[in-house]
Amino acid sequence: MSNLRKKLKTAVQLLSGHPITVGIETYTECNRKCWYCPVAHFDRKKESMSMDTFRMIFETLKSNHYGGDVMLCGYSEPLIDPQFFPMLEVARQIMPNNRLLAASNGDHFTPELLDKLASLLDYLLVTRHSRHDFKWHEYKIGTMTVVEQPAIGSPGAMINKVSSRAGLLRVGKLSYKPINHCMRQYALGITPRGDLGFCCEDYDAKRGLGINVHTSKDFFREWGAFPRAWKRLKILFGVKSKECEGCGESYIPQPMPQGWHWTMM
């Protein structure tokens, strides 16, 4: 699909008031502190989403006939959330036909845990930080697709650039360039405390939309209301918004300079 056709398809989706994907972060903790991630640079209060809030979010998505993907992760490691598997089961009960996705660093994998994930997820993205010679590969466990990839910046990584996370994080040795015609605001992202982020790069909803699932009558419709949809459409076609100030991307030099680290523990 050409870039223009992709933009037009995204534009139609945005104007319909429906996000292309929904991301729900249920927990704030991660066992790693990667140099390119806000987790390594910001202190974040330990929070977890309640099961009641999680259930309400899915009931709202269902009542609005949302048929897209639901990504159960954010800037945390979902497998250290003690409620993760019960929440997956609730998600499956309420929206059995939507694709459920998650992302993990793979540090906690066991054969038993992977089998359990395969019974509930459709897709699992694994970013491996433990080996620098790791190669991208894809395989199936039951009906669940698993994609494993090297960490950003490592040899063989398919991703060789990082963003400034909506202008919130700039690693000093990198040279960032503005992002034009950005498509990152097509995602509806929800933090553990229920705040909606401006885009999928908006760490902890620090830019935010001023919408919280606990106080909104219908957060899904509020997210897709025309004024916000129109703003997203303009950003998609290159018109900057104040929320985009400072946002950019930088290529990672290869090989990485001496003194840089793949990950910080």
Residue 137, helix vs strand vs coil = strand
| 7 within 8 A of 236, measured Cβ to Cβ | yes
Q: What is the pLDDT of residues 133-159, one digit of tens each?
A: 667 889 999 999 999 988 776 666 666
Total-model pTM: 0.89
Residue 262 reports pLDDT greater than 60: no
Q: Say what the pLDDT of residue 260 is.
A: 52
Kindly tell me the number of DSSP H helices and DSSP E strands found in the chain: 6, 10
Residue 261 reports pLDDT greater than 50: no
Q: Which residues pair with residue 46 across a beta bridge?
A: none
Structural domains for the chain: 3-242 (3.20.20.70)
Q: Is 60 exposed, middle or buried (0-12, 13-18, 19+ CB in 10 A)?
A: middle
Tell me the pLDDT band of 1, cut-offs 50, 70 and 90.
low
Residue 262 vs residues 128, 140, 157, 167, 203: alpha-carbon distances, Å: 11, 28, 12, 22, 20
* Helix axes 3-15 and 226-236, enclosed angle (nearest 10): 170
Amino acid letter for position 139: Y
